[in-house]
Amino acid sequence: MNLRIAIDGPSGAGKSTLARQLALHLDLPYIDTGAMYRAIGYLAMHRGVVAADEVTKLLEGLELEIKSDPNDFRVSIDGVDVTERLRDTEVSMRASEVAQIPAVRAWLVARQRQAAASGAVLEGRDIGSQVLPDADVKLFVTAAEEVRMQRRAAQLGAARDADLTREIRERDRRDKERKASPLRVPEDAIVIDTGAEDEAASLARILDAVNRVKKRR
């Protein structure tokens, strides 16, 4: 069986870049679990749904499909590709809200586990703690708040401003304080501080950990 690798961390830490590179290096599927939550958040916005029970009803009969190519990860809802609509700030905030709904998390976790059954690199906020607590390798990618804010601004092609600062801090607060699977560092995770070392050094450390696991098999 191929490796199942869990990568967690806050917004803007650089986990997506490392996860994609790792998936390419190991020839494994790549799964952006955050995009799956954003898809539900987008759907809730599109349907004008706010209450938790109404969001949960949206899941009935819903077809959520992913294309797990690390070079071109895509998400479709009922056959419609919504990938390009998922990075808007409003969608990100809505995703953070729906992620607090236990029924939504349970529905998505089941699909994430199924997608990872034959090996994959999964990135998110509760992969090592909840989705794949028995993952072969667990990583927690982090960076100082200022670094993450600068990266988020660059990702959006926007200047760093008060709205972006509020977005990052509010998402951090929700992720850490939510009752359902809060963001935390799994006890057996390797912590990667992307603000303290460059991308190549981080990837090298991760590959070293992966190779140690392979040798034990």
3-state SS assignment for residue 118: coil
Q: What is the CATH number of the domain that holds 118?
A: 3.40.50.300
190 Cβ contact list (under 8 Å, min separation 6)? 137, 138, 139, 140, 205, 206, 209
216 within domain boundaries = no
Q: Tens digits of per-residue pLDDT, 3-60?
A: 999 999 988 888 999 999 999 999 999 999 999 999 999 999 999 999 999 999 999 9
pTM of the model: 0.89
Radius of gyration of the chain (CA): 17
> Given 3-state DSSP classes, what are the helix, strand and coil percentages for the chain, each rounded to the nearest 5?
50, 15, 35
The three-state secondary structure class of 148 is: helix
Backbone angles phi, psi at 187, to 5 degrees: -55, -35
* pLDDT tens per residue, range 56-104: 999 999 999 999 999 999 999 999 999 999 988 789 889 989 998 999 9
Q: How many structural domains are present in the chain? A: 1
Q: Which tokens in the block code for residue 39? A: 């898809």
Residue 211 lies in a domain: no
Range of the structural domain that residue 41 is part of: 4-204
Determine, yes or no, domain membership for 180: yes
166-188 pLDDT, tens digit each? 777 887 787 787 777 778 888 88
Q: Does a structural domain hold residue 193?
A: yes
The pair of structure tokens assigned to 75 is 């998400």
d(CA 92, CA 35): 9
Lookup result for tokens 């951090």: 172
Choose among 144, 113, 112, 89: nearest CA to 32.
Answer: 112
Residue 138 in any domain: the answer is yes
